[in-house]
Amino acid sequence: MYPVDLKYSKDHEWIRVDGKEVTIGITFHAQEAMGDVVFVELPEVGDSFESGESFANIESVKAVSDCYAPFGGTVTAVNEALEDSPELINTDPYGDGWIIKMETGDLSVLDGLMSAQEYQEFLKEEE
């Protein structure tokens, strides 16, 4: 349910590292809590975000939620498939449901994120 090759934030985003580029999406837990996703507002390629800044809005049948940048960086790609099929976040949160790709100059910022095991322990503490 929580792939071990990913990093996780306390805001329920997952991060996959590929060189200096990282892919970001929301976790299984986050999409499950939101319910059926009906719309995703994506940033533009080239937009820059600071750590903790909202980079996307996800609208579900229950609420509208922000996605927060786990570190500062510049958007290098957005998942345009979400414009026509926002439900990909529900059906494949770690694959086709990715949200953005970012580049950061300092990969050491990833050290502050959680492993899959740490994230699952974090979820237990939140209950």
Question: What CATH number corresponds to the domain at position 51?
Answer: 2.40.50.100
Residue 38 domain flag: yes
Residue 78 domain flag: yes
What residues make up the domain containing 35? Answer: 7-107
Distance of CA 36 to the CA centre of its chain: 16
Q: Look over the chain and give the mean of its residue pLDDT values, rounded to a whole number.
A: 94
Distances (CA, A) of 7 to 39, 50, 115: 25, 18, 5
Which two tokens mark 117?
């095991």
Q: What is the rounded CA–CA span in Å between residue 117 and residue 50?
A: 26
Strand ranges in the chain using DSSP code E only, listed in sequence order: 7-8, 13-18, 21-26, 37-41, 48-49, 54-60, 64-68, 73-78, 100-103
Residue 118 domain flag: no
Quick one: pLDDT at residue 111?
A: 87
pTM of the model: 0.94
Residue 116 domain flag: no
pLDDT band at 126 (very low <50, low <70, confident <90, very high): confident
Kindly tell me the burial class for residue 95, based on how many C-beta atoms sit within 10 Å of its own C-beta (0-12, 13-18, 19 or more). Answer: exposed
- Tell me how many domains the chain contains: 1
